[in-house]
Structure 1
Amino acid sequence: MRMLWGGASASSQYEGGFELFNKGMDTQDCRRYIKRTDNATTSTRLLTRADIERAKYPLDGDFFPGRKGSEGLLHIDEDIEYLSELGIDIYRISIAWSRIFPTGEEETPNEEALNMYGDILKKLKSKGIKIYLSLTHYALPLALVEKYGGWKNRKLIDLYLKYAKVIFERFGEYLDFVVPFNEINTGFFSPFNGLGLLRDENREGSGYDLNDIFAGLHNQFIASAKVIELGKKMLKASFGCMAACFCYYGYSCNPLDQLKTLQYEQINQWFFTDVLAAGEYPYYMKKYFRDNDIKVEFLPGDREILRNNTADFVGFSYYQSNVCAFEEMEKTAGNLVVSTKNPYLKANEWGWQIDPVGMRISMNKIYDRYKKPVMITENSFGYNDVLEEGNIINDDYRIQYLNDHFEQIKLAIDDGVECLAYLLWGIVDIVSAGSLEMTKRYGVVYVDADNLGNGTYKRYKKKSFKFYKEFIEKEKNVVKS
């Protein structure tokens, strides 16, 4: 099968419609916009109980971007036409769990929301677009955080399986690829987004208990395996796992830099895909758990469920590479984690270091490690695009970024890597998951809105729209010839 080219979005960043279709409140609805400073991303994604209460009873002037997104539900027909015009093969979509089960514990699902999602999936299929479904993309029904403490409680596994079963029953015929959890390693360094864990302001350090984090991760591992087990019985789709990929480099040939790089890569990235793609907890975590006094509870059958229900493919997001140094060095921001600054690379406005070659390296590393097809589930260039007179957006910088990364993808395939698909992140502009900014744009379709939800939300094609459309058409013609 030829490689597929497509796009991706997330319900909480795209849909909007907070008050539509009887939606329940979820964790992403609670994240308040804070004007960006050096630590704004941390302020907006590591929430406390006080933050939750403020979200439930907002103060004058508070704005919660996830509640408005890109007003996608109000523009869905128009956006699908843009996707069709681009000629994409595949589209990655997520469903808001809190729309199907508003508190996560209802006996019957919300039919109004099911019908809404059914209409969207049918329209995508009518355009010949394959569907990649993320069952959950950070958004967890808030009631499950308040009642059970989020994913640290094993009760969520059964509730999640009930949700998955409804989705498979109703939409199974439309699904080509399914991944239970978006960027599952997020739970380690962003526990509210990934696991629905609240930060304790009175707790030293990060405000989190590592035992809670790894209990939550273990429950997600088991839930992922059980969803795959269920899905294999019900669907013909391919099932995968997904992690945020950082492509770590050692700062120098100092052996201590290299050792730290190995250890960072293990705990931040490989641990998660080792469990989900290889089917067991890796050897190196024993020392990490021992050194940090972490005890993970395995119930009877847990090891078997992980071993017998591994992912068919390994998906990963990639935006930039990171550098590790044993000694303290100059830092720069990145996707979810902070990195040592790389003197050989340029960065965007948010400090993300641009490294096309890192894409090729990452693809090779993942394929070599698991011998399973890879899928690039997120990638693009975040930039504060300007809408010029005549509704023109000259984003040549994005075209250059994409072109450079596409070249490296092809080189990785020439290396022998089996790559299923490339998915352009936020193909229609969406709210940033990190800093909650609308002005941090990734797409090839511009959405006229600012960071505070002001604007017409009209859509305009960027210059990169034409580039991506022509690139996809060329790729299809190459295969035909």
Structure 2
Amino acid sequence: MDLQFQKRKILWGGATAASQYEGGWQEGGKGIDTQDVRPYIPRTSNATTATRLLTQAMIEKGERDTKGRYPFRDGSKGYYHLAEDIQLLKELGMDIYRLSISWARLFPNGDELEPNPAGIAYYDRVFDEIRKAGFKVFLTMNHYAIPLNLVKKYGGWTNRKLIDFYLRFAKVVFEHWGDCIDYYLPFNEINAGYFSPFNGVALLKPEDGGYDQSLVFQSLHHQFVASAKTIELGHSMVQGKFGAMVACFCYYPYSCKPEDNLKQTLDENTNTWFCMDVLSRGYYPSYMQSFFDANGIEFEITDEDRELLKHNTCDFVSFSYYQSSVASCEEKEKTAGNLVVSTKNPYLQANEWGWQIDPVGLRVTLNRIYDRYQKPVIISENGFGYADVMEEDHQVHDQYRIDYLNRHFQEILNAQNDGVDVVAYMMWGIVDIVSAGSCEMGKRYGVIYVDADNYGNGSYDRYKKDSFYWYQQFMKEYREE
């Protein structure tokens, strides 16, 4: 019997995050958040890592310091360019826009009983502009940044109280903008809590030594519970679909040596699949108990938690993809990558930040994730960071980005032909934003150039890159097929 696979039209769009895009960190009563205290460190071999390993002393300094360079406080100044940017994205011809809401703009301290009226008014304007533009909306409810007060007073996600604070925030989102939102994502790249604990779960690094892994996994568990409770509440209040998201690194074994293949399986289970297994399947996978036992990791999971996770799984799965990684049981040459360090792949080229550019890896990832979960798939982040140069006539000739997008788009279409149910693709940093990985403006992703440098100098005016016109034409031709 022939099986007929019914392909749906893919939604094409772009994405930003409030902490990286909005700026206006003191406008409208917004509270200071965990990204506002991350300092700019000129790029060195360890700058990307150092900006993500914040200690108690660093956040205290950041909170007091009003003169130092903290790039997320400016972002792309989207707070002031809202209508202009939405019009540019409408001109681009997107189907769907991924954005996030600043928790600290709605609840400046995070534990208030009522939301900040000025924050409500700002997001009323945001969704009004999006509605007029006609985009479908993919909302990331929490994209790394949380009110700093929740870290100082409660210990971040180590504290179970944050679940209730987060649910209060989620309820306000559903009540005010639920009719505007098509897809909800409770937590961005939830597995970042494991490999980037400050960004992922707002966990401070001890002044000496590494993170307490039991606290890392307790924090992640609290996010799992918060996600399930958000889905439970959301399904009772709104019509949109709810998803889960992980950062995918597409692990390959370095060789056909059995030990390399075993390491590939174990690395991918822990770094990628664990979080999605919990949120999509509704239970902790058996392989993680072995990992916990081997590493002396203990944390609390209640019977009520297990029931909640079991009955409130995600409606769709989503992921970010920038590069592939290599697993080897022997020490090999390393490359920095975007979020994690990996063994260098001799068959791939890399950009100046060490990313191993691998379009085929995106197709591999789409097949792996759909085969594993059998739920609709959304590519919620993908793009190419590069030190773009704007010419004197305000032109930006980014053929390298066009080539990157073209090759990755072809692999998405190939994966769809493989039978993967691809719902949407969202290009990361569609307007240039501050990089969450390296805390710099100079690593640009967008098809729209923002005239600002790593130190906040520049007009912040917007200019269309060559890739703007290429992506515009691609979407037009795709719809006409």
TM-score normalised to structure 2 length? 0.98
SS in 2 for 1:259: helix
Matches for 1:132-281 after TM superposition, within 5 Å: 132-203=138-209, 207-281=210-284
Report what 1:431 is aligned to.
434
Q: How far apart are the structure 1 equivalents of 2:372 and 2:303?
A: 28
Matches for 1:328-339 after TM superposition, within 5 Å: 328-339=331-342
Do the aligned partners of 2:187 and 2:244 also contact (CA within 8 Å) in 1?
yes
SS in 2 for 1:421: strand
Q: How far apart are the structure 1 equivalents of 2:159 and 2:44?
A: 34
Where does the alignment leave 5 or more consecutive residues of structure 1 unmatched? none
Report what 1:295 is aligned to.
298
Report what 2:412 is aligned to.
409
Do the aligned partners of 2:338 and 2:354 also contact (CA within 8 Å) in 1?
no
* 1:100-128: CA deviation from partner (whole Å, max 9, x where unpaired): 11111111101111111111112111111
* 1:444 to 2:447 alignment: yes
Partner AA of 1:34 in structure 2: I
In the alignment of these two chains, the number of paired residues is 474
Report what 1:129 is aligned to.
135
Report what 1:120 is aligned to.
126
Partner AA of 1:302 in structure 2: D
SS in 1 for 2:127: helix
Which residue of 55, 59, 75 corresponds with 1:52?
59
Q: How far apart are the structure 2 equivalents of 1:226 and 1:24?
A: 25
Partner AA of 1:91 in structure 2: Y
* 1:246-281: CA deviation from partner (whole Å, max 9, x where unpaired): 000000111111111110000000001000011110
SS in 2 for 1:382: coil
Partner AA of 1:199 in structure 2: K
Displaced runs of 4 or more, over 4 A: none
Residue 3 (structure 1) shift: 1.1
Q: How far apart are the structure 2 equivalents of 1:437 and 1:97?
A: 22
Report what 2:3 is aligned to.
none
Report what 1:14 is aligned to.
21
Partner AA of 2:479 in structure 1: K
SS in 2 for 1:267: helix
Report what 2:102 is aligned to.
96
Matches for 1:75-94 after TM superposition, within 5 Å: 75-94=81-100
What is the CA RMSD across the aligned residues, in angstroms?
0.8
Do the aligned partners of 2:30 and 2:105 also contact (CA within 8 Å) in 1?
yes
Q: How far apart are the structure 2 equivalents of 1:419 and 1:189?
A: 27
* 1:39 to 2:17 alignment: no
Matches for 1:59-70 after TM superposition, within 5 Å: 60=67, 62-70=68-76
* 1:370 to 2:373 alignment: yes
Q: How far apart are the structure 2 equivalents of 1:193 and 1:407?
A: 32
Q: How far apart are the structure 2 equivalents of 1:16 and 1:28?
A: 11
Partner AA of 1:155 in structure 2: K
* 1:212-232: CA deviation from partner (whole Å, max 9, x where unpaired): 000000000000000000000
Q: How far apart are the structure 2 equivalents of 1:240 and 1:65?
A: 29
Where does the alignment leave 5 or more consecutive residues of structure 2 unmatched? 1-7
* 1:261-305: CA deviation from partner (whole Å, max 9, x where unpaired): 110000000001000011110010010000111113112311111
Partner AA of 1:410 in structure 2: L
* 1:325 to 2:328 alignment: yes
SS in 2 for 1:453: coil
Partner AA of 2:108 in structure 1: P
* 1:284 to 2:287 alignment: yes
Q: How far apart are the structure 2 equivalents of 1:57 and 1:113?
A: 23
Q: How far apart are the structure 1 equivalents of 2:464 and 2:360?
A: 28
Q: How far apart are the structure 2 equivalents of 1:162 and 1:58?
A: 30
TM-score normalised to structure 1 length? 0.98
